[in-house]
Structure 1
Amino acid sequence: MTTTAPSPLLDIRGVQHSYGDVVALRDVSLSIADREFFALLGPSGCGKTTLLRSIAGFETPQAGSILLDGQDLTALPAHRRPVNMMFQSYALFPHMSVEKNVGYGLEAEGVGKAEIRRRVGETLEIVGLAAFAQRRPAKLSGGQRQRVALARAIIKRPRVLLLDEPLSALDRKVRAEMQLELKRMQHEAGMTFVVVTHDQEEAMSMADRVAVLNRGGIEQLDTPVGLYSRPATRFVASFIGTANLLDGFATGSSSSGSAVDVPGVALFPVSHGFAEREPVTLVARPEDVHIVAPDAAPITGTVIDTFFLGGSSTVSVEVPGLAKPISCTVHAANVAERGQRVGLNFDSSRVVVVANPVEAAVAA
């Protein structure tokens, strides 16, 4: 017996949009499931906010379609879409109490007072502000004001809640706390969240899946673990976390003898599916590079810095032939000293090989 996969809640198909000669979105397609916490991640100008505004109805794509529950939203104005958007600026009414701010949208729609009171109470419980219902925004912290804005957005029970850089106005400590809180609130509200952020830590800690955008297109759509451990492109490898990127050429196309040749450095045995001499990049996370004795490794270098971080240390090793030092994460306080000569072993089962479009363009 075969089962049919459930239809996505939000289905974006071939969306394209430009501002004059500037292409903001290039044939973007992705699907988002019901009650999923989904993140659009990328640097400034990558198209993530344009995509969010297209879902909300504030931008009209020049091509493609956006479907919610199978209904094409493209022709619907923003106020008729079962979607709500929370902006970077919370825009709370300073003369109103928390409960009045949260219930304002329902009151404007003519919802009865008893129903407003009930739903405001439920929503303030979800965001942890029930005890602050009578306070005004000026008496709240930045994190609390952010919760009020979130409560005001979810009280109308949209099918999808869109959040544009929701934590950018908070300081680092409060932002870290709110990352966990947003995930909890999303579960309790039983709602689909789509968040735009340029902060990889936010996306990786909160989202079920992440779409990494670059220059208007999707570089990779995956889980946070997948993006970190199996980057599909050189851009994703460099943008997500810390990575050692060694540019070279694929060699030994057979599965038993494949390797990456980094000229002037070493030949690294690692499986890949690239053609002989195709430009590639070897991606090795710091925790997958191990410091050993100089005569027990394919490459050697000199320790130039050691940073003790508590439970681990980050060691930088300068290797002849490489423009940048190799970064290693070791679980010890004094594993290597500045000026010490060491060997480096790469965990071939964990390193990843991706195409190197920069080198390929130069070769062309």
Structure 2
Amino acid sequence: MTAEPLLRVDGVRAVYGDTVALHDVSLDIAHNEFFALLGPSGCGKTTLLRSIAGFETPAAGRITVDGIDLLSLPAHRRPVNMMFQSYALFPHLSVERNIGYGLEAEGLGRAEIRTRVGEVMEVVRLGHLAKRRPAQLSGGQRQRVALARAIVKRPKLLLLDEPLSALDRQVRASMQLELKRLQHEVGLTFVVVTHDQEEAMSMADRIAVLNEGRLEQLASPQELYADPGSRFVAAFIGTANLLDGEATADGVAVPGLGEVRAGHALAAGSPATAVIRPEDVVAGDDVSGGLRGTVVDTYFLGGASTISIDVPGLPAPVLASVHGATRLVRGAEVGVAFGRATAVPRDPSEPPSFGTTVPTTAIPVDEVQDVSA
């Protein structure tokens, strides 16, 4: 028997004037799950989060937590808490007073407040900073104070709105691991809104990808990457080669390239896209039996390099991933072969094209030397 979800969003529709921000979105979130709402700016993810919190009122639909109708309750009476992007700490209060402020407002006794604040400070590793003010803390420490203040009230559900966006890249990476650790230790359900795919993929158990107010796909990070349900998800999640064409019995027929064998059979003749991740592209001077091309750029990523290859007959370069350092420098002639591909439906109103999503963390270089030499 399947356990009942903690949070249920059923047919939620949000409208601002003539703009529909959410188109009848439905999803379930389990107890003790780390769940992410992911999508570009304006996709509706923050509207959905604010509707759960009680700061927005949907035009239609239901939102329940443990069967309780949230839409019938004001924000302050809902069994949820929200951690804001700005952290909203009181500058004149110490760390421990900031964390315990909500408990003081509820009228709890001093002994219980002291006990609960002490417990949560140890969980977020702030016990040694109890007497400091927010101005005396680093960005990561302020983020943990805001998180502690949210979880000390023991809500059923914790909502986090772009919680790491104010941190620099190195601190953000460490806090991704910290948030995951805290979520497991405190045993709460976390729902985080982010536009950062790397952030969502590294932290979440499941991800809901939204686009223009619609739920594109809800799945684990692994499934979203390996088996995207739409061309949008394939392009938005990770780096990909997107080859548009028509579905065949065994894959996708791509103009100027021929048939690319791919999983997920679609109706033959229907508009389709073959999605090929860079790690599923084999490139090298010893690759035979496939295409030939010229290396036009190298993106060095530390543990691997992504090379961009100009293949005659294709309107855009092919991206291939090479582990470690590479001798495939600009101008090198290489063979190219495709491995695993996934076929996804394509909007018939859009003309066929060929595109790639370039790695956002890559460093383009004219030439990458083989550091192993």
CA contact (8 A) 1:142 1:170 kept: yes
- What residue in structure 1 maps to residue 218 of structure 2? 221
User: Using the alignment, how far apart are the partners of 1:80 and 1:53 within structure 2?
Assistant: 15
Amino acid at match of 2:198: E
Deviations 1:117-141 (A, max 9, x none): 0000001011110110011111111
Gaps of 5+ in 1: none
**Alignment pair present for 1:12 and 2:9:** yes
CA contact (8 A) 1:265 1:320 kept: no
**Alignment pair present for 1:43 and 2:43:** no
CA contact (8 A) 2:209 2:216 kept: yes
Return the offset for 1:360.
Answer: 4.0
SS in 1 for 2:15: strand
**Alignment pair present for 1:115 and 2:107:** no
User: Using the alignment, how far apart are the partners of 1:174 and 1:276 within structure 2?
Assistant: 49
- What residue in structure 1 maps to residue 341 of structure 2? 351
SS in 1 for 2:71: coil
1:339 is aligned, of 310, 327, 331, to: 331
- Indicate how the Cα distance of structure 1 residues 33 and 295 shifts in structure 2: closer, same or farther if over 3 A, else same: closer
- What residue in structure 1 maps to residue 135 of structure 2? 138
CA contact (8 A) 2:103 2:113 kept: yes
Return the offset for 1:162.
Answer: 0.3
SS in 1 for 2:325: coil
Return the offset for 1:75.
Answer: 1.4
CA contact (8 A) 2:10 2:26 kept: yes
CA contact (8 A) 1:16 1:61 kept: yes
Deviations 1:21-70 (A, max 9, x none): 11100110000001100000000000000000010111111111001101
Query: TM-score normalised to the size of structure 1?
Result: 0.93
**Alignment pair present for 1:172 and 2:179:** no
Return the offset for 1:308.
Answer: 3.9
Return the offset for 1:320.
Answer: 2.0
User: Using the alignment, how far apart are the partners of 1:326 and 1:203 within structure 2?
Assistant: 26
Return the offset for 1:322.
Answer: 2.1
Deviations 1:202-231 (A, max 9, x none): 111111100000000111101111111111
Gaps of 5+ in 2: 353-373
User: Using the alignment, how far apart are the partners of 1:141 and 1:221 within structure 2?
Assistant: 35
User: Using the alignment, how far apart are the partners of 2:324 and 2:184 within structure 1?
Assistant: 38
166-175 or 38-47, larger mean C-alpha shift = 166-175
Amino acid at match of 2:182: M
- 1:1-364 equivalences under 5 Å are 4-251=1-248, 253=249, 258-293=250-285, 296-347=288-339, 350-357=340-347, 359-362=348-351
Task: Give the fraction of aligned pairs with identical amino acids, expressed as a percent.
Answer: 65
Return the offset for 1:292.
Answer: 4.4
SS in 1 for 2:118: helix
Deviations 1:231-278 (A, max 9, x none): 110001100110000111112x3xxxx232111122223344222221
User: Using the alignment, how far apart are the partners of 2:264 and 2:89 within structure 1?
Assistant: 54
SS in 2 for 1:296: coil
